[in-house]
Amino acid sequence: MTTTIPITKARVNLGAIVKRVRLKKERFVLEKDGYPVAALIDIDEFEDYLDSQNEALKKQIQASWKEYKAGKAKPLGDFLARMEKKYGV
């Protein structure tokens, strides 16, 4: 859910707003003179956004997807069995 509020109201209620962002995953758009100027989002969502902007990560995901589509993927159980055998995990 996204809520738009004036930046002055956000300043007065910052603690409560941050709590709602963190616990309820709410988003807030802050306005100044009726124009949006900033947003508050949960840190996990922000980190996901940053990852989505990383070109190297995008290329790695695309390469992995191509391998998957080409049938090069292996069952998770096989991988876990190898890890258990190799590392005793």
User: pLDDT (tens digit, 9 = 90+) per residue, 22-76?
Assistant: 999 999 999 999 999 999 999 999 999 998 899 998 899 999 999 989 988 888 9
Q: Indicate the number of domains in the chain.
A: 2
Q: Has residue 82 got a pLDDT over 80?
A: yes
Backbone angles phi, psi at 72, to 5 degrees: -90, 0
Q: Tell me the residue type at 48.
A: D
Reported residue count of the chain is 89
Q: Is residue 49 part of a domain?
A: no
Q: Is residue 47 part of a domain?
A: no
Looking at the fold, whether 10 and 32 belong to one and the same domain comes out as yes
Distance separating alpha carbons of residues 64 and 73, to the nearest angstrom: 9
Distance separating alpha carbons of residues 64 and 70, to the nearest angstrom: 10
Distance separating alpha carbons of residues 2 and 40, to the nearest angstrom: 10
Looking at the fold, whether 67 and 89 belong to one and the same domain comes out as yes
Least confident of 7-11, 31-35, 78-82: 78-82
Domain that holds residue 23: 1-42
Looking at the fold, whether 34 and 58 belong to one and the same domain comes out as no
> pTM (2 decimals)?
0.65
Least confident of 19-23, 32-36, 84-88: 84-88
Report the DSSP beta bridge partners of residue 6.
31
Q: Is residue 80 part of a domain?
A: yes
